[in-house]
Structure formats: C-alpha cells, structure tokens
Amino acid sequence: MVLYLRAILTWLGFLFNTTAPHIIRSIARQCILRIRKLGIRPAQSGLQTLLSRLLAYYQRISPKNSHAEQETTYFTAASTIHPGVLAPVNDLSQSSPIQANQLQVQVSQHPAQGSITSIDSRSQSASTTEWDPKRFKPLAPQLCQRYTGRVLVRSDIETKPIPAKKKDFSETPVDGWEGVVHPEGALYFYDATRHVFTDANLRSRRLLKAINHLAYQLRLKASDIIDDSTHLVLELQAKEDACNYYFVQHDKRLLFWLQDFDEPICIYEHVKGVKSDTHIKIALEAQYWMHCELYPSNAPIQPQIATELKHVLLHAHSDFLTSDTSVVPYDLSTLHSMLDLSNNLVEYVGLLTPSSDECVELPAHLMCVLARLMRLFARSKLLNFYGQAGARLNANQSVYEVEESRQKGTFRLRLANVFLWGAPAAQYKFLRNTWVDNILNYPKWYRHINRLNGDWSNVAIFSTVMLAVDVSFLCAPGVISAVAVVIYLSTMCSVSSLVVSILLAVESRGWGTDSAEGAASFMARMIHTQSDVEALAIMYSLPYAYLIWGMFCFVTALGIYVFHSTNTATLVVVGLCWVAATALTLWPAWWGKFVMTPWSVPSRKGGHVKETV
C-alpha cells in the first residue's frame, strides 16, 4: 500500500507541474479530494487502476515530457487528514504559504529508497501551529498514569446480547493507529507510520484529533534529531490540548525531550549527588527499559542484550554467594529464578536471529520479561553509583560524606546502651548496615526480621516463666519489705517484656516482610533522620532489655533474702557460690566485649575513605 501511495502521489504532483490537458488536471484534483474524504484504506482498491489509465493516456499525448521531470517532487501533508495522505502543490518557488498545521515533505520518486528527507513548516495561524512549550511537559515512564488513571466501568450498564451468526468481533480500526494489548491486559495505541504510542482511548474522535495534532507538533519540532529508531510517547493531560511526552532512542537505550527536565528527581530515584553524564545515562537507561516494559510491542533491540542480561545475572549470583556485603538486591532463590528466565530468553533469541547484528522485535510477553529484569539491574547500578569515582562496593557503605561521622551514634544511644544491656548497639549496627542512604538491603532485612520474630517469641515465653516465678516468690513465708519491693520491680519488667514482645511480633507483620517494596516503604515512614534510626534500634531492644532487668531484679531479691540470714556457715557457702556463679555468668558478656544480645549481626569491615568527590 505504501509503494502504491508513493507512486500515486508522485505522478499526481507530476501532472500538476506539466502542461497536461485540463481533463487530466481535473481527474487528479478529484482523486486528491477523494483520498482526503475517504482516507487511505477505502480508496486503496481503485487507485492502482486509475494510476495505470492516467499514465497510459499521458504517455500518448506527451511522450517527450514523460522522462523530463526532476527526480523529486514536493507535497504537503495537512494535519487535518491522515499523516500519510499527501496533497500535491505547484512549484515551491511560486507556491503560496502553506496553510496552518501543514508539513512540507520531499519524497523521492524511487519507492525503494523513498523517505522523508526534509521537513519544514509554514503557518498562517500562530495559535494552531506555533510551538507552545506550555502545552508540552516532559514525562518519565515511571510517572505514566496507566496504573493510576484507570477508566472505570459502570456497573449499571446493561449486558449486550450476542448477535446471531456473528463471527467477527474485532473493534472498528482507528484510522492510522493500531490497537495493541499489553500482556497484562492494558490497551494502548501505536502509529506505525510516525512511531507514536499513547494510552489515550483513540476510539474517541475528540481524543484522536488532539493526539494527532500534538504528535504532529512534537515531531515537527524534533525533525532535526529524530530518525527511524526514534519513538514518541504521548499522555494527554486533563486539559486535552496539552500533553506529557518523551522520545525514545532505541539504538542508544535512552530517552530525550525537547525541553529541560527541571525536576528529574523521579528519574534519579531520589538519589542525591547525580551529576556526571555517565550516571545520568544509567538513570535514563533504567527509564528506557521501563518504557519497553510499558510498550513491549514494536521495540527493536539488539539480540546480544539477552546474553548481556545472562552475564549480569551470573555475576550477581556468584557475588551474593561469596560476599556478605554484596550490593545485589536479591537473594539466591530469586537470582536462580531470574537466571532460568534469562537462559530461556537467550535460547529463543538465538533461534530467532542467525545474525547478531540485526535488531529484532521480541514477542510482547518475552519483551516484558527482558525489559523488567534489565530495568531492575539498571536501577541497582543507579543507586550504587555504578562506574563513578565514589561507587558503593559494599552494601553497608555510604557514598555521602555526611554519613561517615554517624557510625557510633549519639550520646542518647550510648546512654540507652548502658541501661538496656548493650542491645541497642547491636540493633543500631544492623539498621545502619541495612538502611544505607535510604536504600534497603532486603535480603539482610528479611533474614533479620525473621530472626527477631523468633527471638521475641522466645522472650515472651521466658517473660511468662519469670512472671510465674515472681508471683510464687511473693507467696513465700518471711518475705521482708525490701525483697517484696524488688520482686515488684521484677514483675513489672516481666510483664513489660511480655507485652512489648507480643506488640512487636504482631506489628512486624506489616513491616513489609512480604516484599522489598513494602519493607522499603516501612523504613521510609519510620526513618527520616539519624535520631529515628536510634529510636528504632532502642525499640527493637526493649523486649530483651526488660527480660534481663526482670531477671536482675529477681536475683537481687533472692540475694537480699539469702544474705539476710545470720548463720555464718550459710553466708560463707552461699557467698562463695554466688561469686563463682556471677563470674561465670558475666564471662560471656566479657568475651563479647559487654555486648549482650540474644542474636548476632555478622558483618564485614568496609574500606576506608580516600577522598571526597
């Protein structure tokens, strides 16, 4: 169809620029009006016959001029009709100004090599064709409203009956646009001629007209920098004469805009200090793969990308296996599943393309898989300053200078560490190594939270036992007032330990242990400053600290009760045993440098800072 159309338009323009009889010029004019009225598809069937008749007639009346025409002929395309429908004009040197919303295109007479070689614009109405930056806002794929701006279906609409003998249930095609269904089920539209995507419902004539006009203006403005590998994505704003947009450059794996992106914090994933071009390129590549995930059809990629993904996963798998502080954001089981997916992708692409130099278009389902995995690891590179002078090589390292002075905590934490038997120090160390620069190391977080839940369950059992022992001690005969007071304190600590353990165990279910995104959201809500990290560490330490205080008070009450005796032999024997038991009890605490916790937090010492960048 495209070849026929180019040939027809070329010869119609040829007839207008010659001294053909009036009847030929009239037929050509009627043909043009017919194409404008019906569009390309309905008029296609009779165009080839009309062309052959016109050529035969003209060769009979003007054989000398049939080969005297120049190699190129000029046409104009009005934005009010389909972008592919071109209307001929007279010699450009004598033509009148092009009407508003028109595009001047130079088309080669050779169909096999025909392409748009020059683009220019003429306008009589500044309100319709002049570039207005206020109507166009740069957009990032991450901010697309596909999942938030859904169209809701009315529940009170009557069910449509199925007509008898109906076999064709396809929707009415939108002129120039193809309806594409995403593997997840979302409907979007694609213009293969102009390489334009949109989520707008173009079955509405109002939206179709608005999208065509906005796409025309953007492509006209970007005519000097776009090529065949450039795609455009449009998202209508609430005010339908304006839109959000971005251009996609597939051969470079990046996005670009015609205006400055003044607020790129969403593209940078809220990472501070993104300055170098190489770092920005990684952020744009992550957004590029997000685009391929949103619009998987008609996304040309190089076949070696599947192999590249496999290499990335192999390295991530081995790094997580051999390092305690790996920056890989996934655990072994997840990495193993990803590796299986990449193996299937490599096998499929290898069968699809015998040559690794040609771009391919994967099926939409496979493209979604490839794009999502590539996006996840591109995002990890962005967060860890991949390829930068201050790259994060260990998950427990901060890339910012201000964080290095907060390794030991404030005076409040050190004071709480004394009264809570050293538990806050261990919890603070865990949180500091897991929540670094507002980035959560989810594998470590998941393991530690599960371990904490087990510890809190054990503490609840021990607290129940201590509570029973304290109550029984109060029932013993001859308990003096001093012993009773200390037992009361022990009972209070046991009850507090039991209650706090239950509360933390219940609340931990909402701490995002089911997904990395939920865990990161919880930490972002809980931690805003360094003081919040310390407060969370102290809170995690309360069940264990209350239990230790309850035991300490019980032992103190027992000591008062025993040493209150006046029997010398009893005092000597019990005193010696008491000293020995106390020494052996404190031995593990001394061995662990007085850090007494029911859990351990393994870590590896990171490197030293050489300089600040």
**pLDDT, tens digit, for every residue of 93-122?**
333 332 333 333 333 333 333 333 333 333
Given this model, what pLDDT does residue 73 score? 34
Gyration radius (Cα) of the chain, Å: 37
- Residue located via tokens 């019906």: 38
Q: Which two tokens stand for residue 481?
A: 């007032």
58-82: per-residue pLDDT in tens?
Answer: 454 444 443 433 333 333 333 333 3
User: CA–CA separation, 288 vs 296, rounded Å?
Assistant: 11
Long-range contacts of 117-122 (CB under 8 A, 24+ apart): 119/220, 119/223, 121/220, 122/97, 122/98
Beta strands in 378-503 (DSSP E): 435-436, 439-440
User: Any residues with CB less than 8 A from the CB of 108 and at least 6 apart, and which?
Assistant: 71, 72, 114, 115, 117
User: CA–CA separation, 126 vs 123, rounded Å?
Assistant: 7
User: CA–CA separation, 426 vs 412, rounded Å?
Assistant: 15
User: What is the overall mean pLDDT for the chain?
Assistant: 79
User: CA–CA separation, 577 vs 583, rounded Å?
Assistant: 10
User: CA–CA separation, 241 vs 249, rounded Å?
Assistant: 25
Q: Which two tokens stand for residue 221?
A: 């403005």
Do the beta carbons of residue 555 and residue 516 sit within 8 Å?
no
**Virtual CA dihedral for 599, 604, 608, 611, nearest 10 degrees?**
-90
Given this model, what pLDDT does residue 33 score? 55
pTM > 0.75? no
Do the beta carbons of residue 102 and residue 217 sit within 8 Å?
no
230-243: per-residue pLDDT in tens?
Answer: 999 999 998 878 99
User: CA–CA separation, 173 vs 4, rounded Å?
Assistant: 21
Task: Tell me the H-state helices in 167-303.
Answer: 205-221, 277-294
User: CA–CA separation, 254 vs 277, rounded Å?
Assistant: 12
Longest dimension (CA), the chain: 141
Do the beta carbons of residue 89 and residue 76 sit within 8 Å?
yes
Given this model, what pLDDT does residue 427 score? 92
Do the beta carbons of residue 232 and residue 256 sit within 8 Å?
no
Q: Is 529 helix (H, G, I), strand (E, B) or coil?
A: coil
User: CA–CA separation, 244 vs 140, rounded Å?
Assistant: 9
Does the structure show a pLDDT above 90 at 322? yes
Sign of CA dihedral 578, 579, 582, 583: negative
Confidence of residue 13 (pLDDT cuts 50, 70, 90): low
Bridge pairing between strands 102-108 and 119-122? antiparallel
Confidence of residue 45 (pLDDT cuts 50, 70, 90): very low
Per-range mean pLDDT, top range of 62-71, 84-93, 166-175, 559-568? 166-175
User: CA–CA separation, 456 vs 481, rounded Å?
Assistant: 33
Identify the weakest region by mean pLDDT among 120-124, 404-408, 504-508. 120-124
464-507: per-residue pLDDT in tens?
Answer: 999 999 999 988 887 888 899 999 999 999 999 999 999 998 88
> In degrees rounded to 5, what are phi and psi of residue 606?
-85, 180
**Virtual CA dihedral for 61, 67, 69, 71, nearest 10 degrees?**
150
Q: Of 292, 312, 288, which is closest to residue 363 (Cα–Cα)? A: 292
User: Any residues with CB less than 8 A from the CB of 328 and at least 6 apart, and which?
Assistant: 316, 319, 320, 335, 380
Confidence of residue 35 (pLDDT cuts 50, 70, 90): low
Q: Residue 409 CB: number of other CB atoms within 10 A?
A: 20
Given this model, what pLDDT does residue 53 score? 53
User: CA–CA separation, 80 vs 96, rounded Å?
Assistant: 19
The residue with greater pLDDT, 158 or 373, is: 373
448, 491, 590, 591 from 545: Cα distances, Å: 18, 14, 18, 19
User: CA–CA separation, 310 vs 194, rounded Å?
Assistant: 33
Q: Which two tokens stand for residue 157?
A: 């609409």
Residues in the chain: 613
24, 25, 35, 37, 42 from 30: Cα distances, Å: 10, 9, 9, 10, 15
Given this model, what pLDDT does residue 394 score? 94
The residue with greater pLDDT, 109 or 537, is: 537
Q: Which two tokens stand for residue 119?
A: 């683009």
Sign of CA dihedral 563, 569, 575, 578: negative
- Mean pLDDT calculated for residue range 272-293: 96
The residue with greater pLDDT, 461 or 70, is: 461
